[in-house]
Amino acid sequence: MDIQSIKKQFEKNLSEAKSKDDLASLKVKYLGKKSAIYGSLRSLGNLSVDERKAQGAALNKLRSEVESGIRAKEGDISGKQSGVKIDFTEPGMKFDLGHTHPITQIYEELFEIGKSLGFSVADGPEMETDWYNFEALNFPKGHPARDTQDSFYFDENNLLRTHTSNVQIRYMENHKPPIRVLAQGRTYRRDSDVTHTPMFHQLEGLMIDDRVTFADLKGILTAFAQGIFGKDRKVRFRPHYFPFTEPSVEVDVSCGICGGKGCRSCKYSGWLEILGAGMVHPNVLKNVGIDSKKYQGFAFGMGVDRITMLKFDIDDTRLFFENDLRFLEQF
């Protein structure tokens, strides 16, 4: 096949094409299954290896030139038919791109830190039963800690989860130790002011094995805190109480604004509370069928909204939900 002859004939036919119908005919003539190009490509197997390589490259180049030539002509004909002159050298229109929400940014940072420490990520239902949300976590009926949750109940047994600890319970029911998992998602409580909203985001961590100590908990949480806020930030642990852990602690990070000296942001204490944690209570392990004499572990939980506020120095959590572009474009 004389490739140069076909190329010259195509260029002549292309210059004579005046409509989209003409171009459709050219596609069939030069690119269709009965075209000379297609037939030559199919017969390459009859050639020697060296001839096949040379002829194949030339045919593919010709096919590419035919395709691009027809596309360019289509654009030219469309512009003429619409009465609009198209200048292909002009720059395109600029479209504003969206921004990743600051809470999503912090979630992604926390996931990366967790994965580097060997944690996987799990999720669970937002509508939960009383057992998974309270009783399995050592909140018996009438426990005063239930009052502090101020929950959204659908009926006596079903509610919107008040924390993502329900994911931990479900995960332990279906996985044997060793366990190292992060539970994430939306949670709900009856609370609303500049630092609280009825719906907020949590990230909880759980580690269960036969040799897990409080020292492991301190090391993991220090890695999370300094991974988010910076290596220069100090971390401290204060005794606290949670029904599902014993011993329990609250964890603070040194104030980044004043360097721990005390300012308005940290209420002149030099510290900012970031999360709660502790060693998993034996009753919780018993409720999910794990032998508390053989296994032990720790759990921790943080409000991602609060972490985001502290990281970006945001003073009103309601800004996260107002979709004000002036706010979102800062991130």
For 7-57, the pLDDT digits (tens) are 888 888 888 888 888 888 888 888 888 888 878 777 877 888 888 788 878
pLDDT, averaged across the chain? 88
Res 195 pLDDT > 70:
no
* Cβ neighbourhood burial of 195 (10 Å; 0-12, 13-18, 19+): middle
d(CA 224, CA 228): 6
Confidence label for 229 from pLDDT (cuts 50, 70 and 90) = very high
| pLDDT in the model for residue 121 | 96
Q: How far is CA 61 from CA 70, 88, 166, in A?
A: 14, 24, 61
Q: Which of 71-80, 135-144, 151-160, 280-289 has the highest mean pLDDT?
A: 280-289
d(CA 280, CA 290): 11
Looking at the chain, the whole-number percentage of residues with pLDDT higher than 70 is 96
| pLDDT in the model for residue 140 | 85
d(CA 182, CA 172): 12
d(CA 197, CA 192): 4
d(CA 139, CA 121): 25
d(CA 209, CA 207): 7
Res 81 pLDDT > 60:
no
| pLDDT in the model for residue 177 | 95
Helices (H), 20-122: 20-31, 36-42, 49-82, 102-116
List phi, psi (to 5°) of 77: -65, -40
Average pLDDT over residues 108-125: 96
79-83, 101-105, 127-131: the lowest-pLDDT one? 79-83
Please give the sequence-ordered ranges of beta strands (E in DSSP) within 130-244, or none if there are none: 158-160, 179-188, 199-209, 235-242
Beta bridge pairs of residue 250: 238, 276
| pLDDT in the model for residue 80 | 62
| 262-301 pLDDT per residue, tens | 887 788 888 999 999 999 999 999 999 999 999 999 999 9
| pLDDT in the model for residue 173 | 96
* Residue 3 burial (CB count, 10 A): 15
43-57, 99-113, 161-175: the lowest-pLDDT one? 43-57
d(CA 294, CA 290): 8
Average pLDDT over residues 165-187: 96
d(CA 74, CA 78): 6
Cis peptide, bond prior to residue 144, ω within 30 of zero: no
Which residue shows structure tokens 């509508």? 127
Specify whether the CB–CB gap between 137 and 165 falls below 8 A: yes
C-alpha closest to that of 205 among 234, 229, 225: 225
* Residue 102 burial (CB count, 10 A): 21
User: What kind and span of H or E run contains 283?
Assistant: helix 282-287
Q: Which two tokens stand for residue 34?
A: 């009965």
Q: Which two tokens stand for residue 210?
A: 């036969």
